[in-house]
Amino acid sequence: GQQLNQSPQSMFIQEGEDVSMNCTSSSIFNTWLWYKQDPGEGPVLLIALYKAGELTSNGRLTAQFGITRKDSFLNISASIPSDVGIYFCAGQISDDYKLSFGAGTTVTVRA
Amino acid sequence: NAGVTQTPKFRILKIGQSMTLQCTQDMNHNYMYWYRQDPGMGLKLIYYSVGAGITDKGEVPNGYNVSRSTTEDFPLRLELAAPSQTSVYFCASSYSPSYNEQFFGPGTRLTVL
């Protein structure tokens, strides 16, 4: 699979904060997906992006498909305690059935 | 609509034992996938299928086998379990390879001792 670099690896949030994370690749992708995984569960799709420059929102979540097609960003606005979990980016190269996944960003509430 | 279901939820195996992880989807998706997830890592593709009767290897297929006799079911077989196969296994399905929004099952946590 293609190498995806996801950062940061982990972050601490305080309720009400805006947070952001990103994913970069050395390859050009035609699809970017963002998933969230809660402990003991499977990943759940948050946002799908199919076009360079596309900006898509899902409630307090906003994701962008980078203009170079080699990166994507996810922002969470006004974070709440249930935003904790692991966020994964995934990308797909044209004409390939397979997704490549980043290693994930773990979001934790700051004590 | 149950989506993607997986059984069992947890399993402990001894080295050398075999088992089948079950996966079923009720969304009439042609494309199905098996991943493993190790701590701190992303998901690694084991095998995938583009339709009944058609399967192909992913990144990490060694030690596993699959079959796809129906659209709904995509079982994953471990023949000779090894400690390196201790992991969480996820099955996923999608409608189209072009708009490849994959829907995941709840996972099977496997420990090989």
Q: Dump pLDDT digits (tens) for B25-49.
A: 999 999 999 999 998 788 999 999 9
Confidence band for B77, pLDDT divided at 50, 70 and 90:
very high
pLDDT at A98: 85
Question: Using the beta-carbon criterion (under 8 Å), do A33 and B4 form an inter-chain contact?
Answer: no
Question: What does the mean pLDDT of chain B come to?
Answer: 94
- Beta-carbon separation of A33 and B101 below 8 A: yes
Task: Name A36's bridge partners.
Answer: A44, A87
**Which residues of A lie inside 8 Å of B (Cβ-Cβ)?**
1, 4, 6, 31, 33, 35, 40-45, 48, 50, 88, 90, 92, 96-104
Q: What are the Cα distances from residue B84, in Å, to A6, A84, B52?
A: 25, 29, 29
Chain A residues inside the 8 Å CB shell of B106 = 40-42
Contact A46, A34 (CB under 8 A): yes
CA–CA dist A31, A90 (Å, integer):
8
Chain A contact set for B97 (CB, 8 A):
96-97
Measure the N-to-C terminal CA separation of chain B; round to a whole number of Å. Answer: 36
Nearest Cα residue to A90 out of A36, A37, A51, A33: A33
Using only the alpha carbons of chain A, give its radius of gyration: 13
Q: Look at residue B9 in the predicted model and tell me its pLDDT.
A: 96
Task: State pLDDT tens for residues A78-99.
Answer: 999 999 999 999 999 876 778 8
